[in-house]
Amino acid sequence: MKLRKIVYGMLCMGALASCSDQMNYHEYNNYDEDFVKLNFSNVGGLITTIYLDLDTDFGNYSGAILGSATDESQYAYTGNSIETFYNGSWSPTNAQSGTWSTCYSGISNCNLFLDKYVGLTFPELEQNADYKPQMFRYNNYQYEVRFLRAYFYFNLVRQYGDVPFIDHFLSADESNTLSRTPAKDIFDYIISECDDIKDLIIEDYANLPADVVLPSESPETGRVNKATVLALKARAALYAASPLFNTDNNPELWHRAATANKELLDYCVNERGMKLVSDYASLWDKNNYKNATDELIFGRRANRESSTMESYNYPVGIEGGNGGNCPTQNLVDAYETTDGYDVRLVNGAWIADGSRVFDKAKPYDNRDPRLRMTICVNEETGWPTWNEGTIYTYQGGANGQPLNGGTPTGYYLKKYCQGDIDLRSNSTNKSAYHTWITYRLGEFYLNYAEAVFRYLGSADATDAEFTMSARQAASMTREREGVGMPAFPLNMSNDAFWEAYKKERMVELAFEGHRFWDVRRWKEADKYFVNIEGLQISKTGDNTAYSYSTVVNTRQWDDKMYLFPIPQSERMKNPNLSQNPGW
């Protein structure tokens, strides 16, 4: 079984996993350096600690996900900390600064390893039977760590812009004297670092030489490999070229982004034989390590078996369901009919101009199949899979308002929920693994499409270097087997293609943590993040049909929110930290 692209729980050997919950920078700092260097396990434990700082979002804001600060979803309960992003309470003293502390802790551990624990030979262990396999892994750690350091810098720069840069281990006093390095330089560093290590790091942990495989060991497939490095480079290049950071619209930055994403696609498709999976929902299924490895480049399996995502997001009205992150009408409107037409609700009436398959009495039938894989709609059956009843989200329905936690939008979330997790009191199937998708092939077809479109100037343009057009690349996720949406048509105007591209990206990557950052890097938040629409569904008088009306939830937006505020607590420690504009 080739489990070559998924991150599993603790990422290292079982001996390390057993103690990784206790491992952090401070414990290593308190240990004598000679103790850490005693054996492979002590050094490897530090690597495990760094991996544990990788992103996930299965409800980071007391159940709310970052998508509920966007037009993807609305959290069903008021007073949640996710509201900080749009209710006017966001400030340097309420800075939502988890990324700052997590990433700089990870960077500190990376620098600690690279400064103190590279080049060891462990001579006292040379006679051990596993010496060669362990040294093989150890010698690759430095490239994994260099990737992880670049990864943390990417998360910082997309969030704060200019940030302090440290490439060696510093004392706390030294670190509190640093000023902010320009975002351009941080992006350049990330891309350069990825170029430096891409041909040094192990290509595939599931296909190691026989003489470096530990006895009775399953492949350590959750580690960073060459494809992961190329993915970080490609994403960083796209962000660097985007309007938030590329204020002069420098075409060379778009060219670099197109080249980097093409490099990733060429490597994954032509050399690794990867492809878009036919079962879109398998990307986040509990068995994705078996069923979606053709598309998944890298993901992080969060915690051990759990049902947190399900208990937050299963519909209210079924046992154990709490409503949670409810998809918006904005998102639902992005899903076209199966023959490629927009669906809109106008003055209470569903409209799909030109569609041959749309029935306004059944507004969720004959829609892009990804809609039903991602979102639970009114009159849904078989969700969760053990539920024998029908989900009714209309006003007064079994799963609608005014129940506490009843959906404010008319919809519930499916994506990332494992539908066979049964939260009923008599169930024995109450948990499963959940893998957060860090990088997958579908994203990079879309990244390439955006970069080539901006560089060559039209959706159909190609040249000797970029032989696949933006239109062709953006159609890949639509045309995948199992989805079967029509390709974007030839000769679209630039404005029409750009709007269609953004909609496709919203649909394909829904709830994977992209929307919050995409709209910011495009500098289009005033268009998308102010009016958040939900659907109010009511039974008609004869009780056989429904009436529909749009409910608009207006949120605050200020352009200073394109970047996060530098936490005031950090500025008090370090007077050299300037604040982002407007904060």
Q: Is residue 25 pLDDT above 70, yes or no?
A: no
DSSP structural state of residue 214: P
pLDDT digits (tens, 9 = 90+) for 434-459: 999 999 999 999 999 999 999 999 99
Concatenating the DSSP letter of every residue in 58-127 gives: SSTBTTB-GGGGTTSEEESSTT-GGGGGTSS--BTTB---HHHHHHHHHHHHHHHHHHHSSS---GGGTT
Read off the pLDDT band of 6 (50, 70, 90).
very low
pLDDT of residue 304: 66
Q: Mind listing the pLDDT tens digit for each residue in 476-527?
A: 999 999 999 999 999 999 999 999 999 999 999 999 999 999 999 999 999 9
Cα 508 to chain centroid distance, Å, stands at 12
3-state SS, residue 181: strand
The two structure tokens encoding residue 545 = 């049909």
Can you give the pLDDT at residue 60?
Answer: 95
User: Which strand (E) or helix (H) includes residue 160?
Assistant: helix 131-160
With a cut of 80, say whether residue 3 has pLDDT above it.
no
Peptide bond into 164 cis (omega under 30): no
Q: How many angstroms separate the CA atoms of 19 and 45, rounded? A: 8
Residue 554's Cβ-count burial label (10 Å; 0-12, 13-18, 19+) is: exposed
Residues linked to residue 532 through DSSP beta bridges, in sequence order: 553
128-164 pLDDT, tens per residue? 999 999 999 999 999 999 999 999 999 999 999 999 9
Residue 145: predicted pLDDT: 98
Q: What is the pLDDT of residues 315-345, one digit of tens each?
A: 999 999 999 999 999 999 999 999 999 999 9
**H-only helix segments in 323-430:** 329-332, 370-374
Confidence category of residue 2, pLDDT binned at 50, 70, 90 = very low
What sign has the CA pseudo-torsion 100, 80, 322, 368? negative
What's the pLDDT score for residue 170? 86
- Structure pTM? 0.93
What is residue 543's predicted lDDT score, i.e. its pLDDT? 65
Q: What's the whole-number mean pLDDT along residues 107-115?
A: 95
**Chain-wide mean pLDDT for the chain?**
91
CB 366 within 8 A of CB 356: no
- 342: CB partners within 8 A, 6+ apart: 333, 336, 352, 353
The full set of domains in the chain, from first to last, is 1-52+97-224 (1.25.40), 55-96+315-430+510-583 (1.25.40.390), 227-297+445-508 (1.25.40)
pLDDT tier for residue 37 given thresholds of 50, 70 and 90:
confident
On the question of pLDDT at 14 being above 90, the answer is: no
